[in-house]
Structure 1
Amino acid sequence: MFTLASGLANSPLGLILIYAVIIGVFWWFLMRPQKKEQKRLAQLLSELEVGDTVLTTSGFYGVIIDITDDDVIVEFGSNKNCRIPMQKSAIVQVEKPDAE
């Protein structure tokens, strides 16, 4: 008995079509969400301001006290001497101060 699936798998055009569908599904479920997250993070980093509370990739919360093109200086804890320069890419979350 001849079925559509076996007919597609036996023809070269059908094999190419099956691979194209697999690659399309792979892109849709894996690559597309990653690109969206990269765009979101890039926008988040472009909107950084002095005074924002940030979470770093190492899990520390701090307040931004200075910003340059690729780097920021973050103050950690209540100790005013704990200021660490780091790359903007080390920031994963930003919380804006409340306007009261």
Structure 2
Amino acid sequence: MSTILLSSSSAGFNYLSMALLVVMFGLMYFFMIRPQKKEQQQKEIMIKELEVGDSILTSAGFYGSVVDIQEDLVIVEFGNNRNCRIPMQKSAIVQVEKQDK
């Protein structure tokens, strides 16, 4: 008789642990995965709206202005002397500030 009680209580424990796993996965999705996807979508939109003349901040911390845009590269001009033009990947752009029109 004690084995029957033991097996019924272990079945309840299995349902409880399964429910806890589902709740933990749901919380992880809403606190980690969803915000990361949203941030990634915002960055993709920012890169698509990039135009020549926009001021940018790179992942290395350099400020520059966009001179030319190619498929997955941008030519960025750094400094006041206008001689420092460096090609870099679009993924290295962290922030874009639109030019005043």
TM-score (norm 2): 0.86
% of aligned pairs identical? 54
Cα shift readout 1:70-100 (whole Å, capped 9, x = no counterpart): 000000011211000000000010001112x
- Aligned equivalent of 1:57, options 56, 59, 68: 59
Quote the residue 2:86 is aligned against. Answer: 84
SS across alignment from 1:41: helix
Counterparts in 2 of 1:15-94, with a 5 A limit? 15-94=17-96
Moved over 6 A (4+): none
Amino acid at match of 1:44: M
Which secondary structure state, in structure 2, belongs to the residue aligned with residue 32 of structure 1?
A: helix
Q: Which structure carries more helix by proportion? A: 2
Partner SS state of residue 80, structure 1:
coil
Unaligned runs of 5+ in 2: 1-8
Residue 14 of structure 1: CA displacement?
A: 1.9
RMSD: 1.5
How many residue pairs end up in the alignment?
92
